[in-house]
Amino acid sequence: MRHVIVIAATMMLIAAAVRVAAQDRMPPIPADKLTDAQKNAIEAFKAARSADISGPFIPLLRSPELLTRARAMGDYVRYRSALPARLSELVILITAREWTQNYEWNAHEPLARQGGLSADVITAIRDGRRPERMAPDEEIVYTFFEELRRTHGVSDATYAGAVSRLGEQGVVDALGIHGYYTLIASVLNTARTPLPPGATPALAPR
C-alpha cells in the first residue's frame, strides 16, 4: 500500500512539473547562451524601440532574423499605418479576441481606450459579442474582419464599404495589422508566454 502511495505521489509531482514547464515553453534565453545573431537582433531591437525585448519577441528570438523582420513590420503597422489609432486598436482587439490572446489584449486594451474606442465597444469584443453602438467607420471595420473570419473572404458590398471609408491603402494596412497580430498571437499561444507580473487574463476561452 505504501508503495502505491509513493508511486502516486511521484506521478503527481511529475504531472505538476510538466504543468509548470508547459506554462512557458520558450522562456528568456540566458545571456551566456545567446548566439551572435541573437545578440545582434537584440541590439537592433533596442535601437529601433528604445526598449528591451519582451512578450512575443522572447520566443521569436529563437529565429533572430524573423524577430528583426517582424519587429520592422510591427513598427509600421503599429505606428505609421494609414489607420487612426482608434481603428488600428480595434483591429488588434478583434484579433486578440479571435485567438483568445490575453497578452495581446492586456497590452492593447488600454491603448484602445486612449485611442478613443469606447468602453462599450471594448467590453462587447471582450465578451465575444458584436458591439451595438459603433461609429460608422468602426462598424465597417468590425463587419469586414468578422466576415473575413467567418468566410475567409469579404463580399463585394463589404469590400466597397471598406474602401469608400478607409481607401485602398487603409484596407491593405488594416489587413497588415490583422496579419501581424495574428502572427504575434500564434507565437504567444504556441510559446505559452505568460502575462506580465500582476496582470490577470481578461479573455475567457470561446
Q: What is the pLDDT of residues 81-113, one digit of tens each?
A: 999 999 999 999 999 999 999 999 999 999 999
pLDDT at 34 over 70: yes
Q: What is the identity of the amino acid at 160?
A: A
pLDDT of residue 192: 98
**In CATH, what number is assigned to the domain containing residue 90?**
1.20.1290.10
In a domain, 130, yes or no: yes
The reply to whether 82 falls in a domain is yes
3-state helix, strand, coil in the chain (%, to 5): 70, 0, 30
Question: Of 200, 180, 190, 197, which Cα lies nearest the Cα of 77?
Answer: 180
Quickly count: other Cβ atoms within 10 Å of residue 118's Cβ. 16
> How many whole angstroms separate alpha carbon 205 and alpha carbon 83?
29
Cα 141 to Cα 174: distance, rounded to the nearest angstrom: 8
Q: Is residue 43 included in any domain, yes or no?
A: no
Per-residue pLDDT of 115-172, as tens digits, reads 999 999 999 999 999 999 999 999 999 999 999 999 999 999 999 999 999 999 999 9
The residue segments making up the domain with residue 118 are 78-191
Residue 161 lies in a domain: yes
Confidence of residue 204 (pLDDT cuts 50, 70, 90): very high
As for how many domains the chain has, the answer is: 1
Global pTM value: 0.88
With cell 512578450, the residue in question is 55
| DSSP state at residue 155 | -
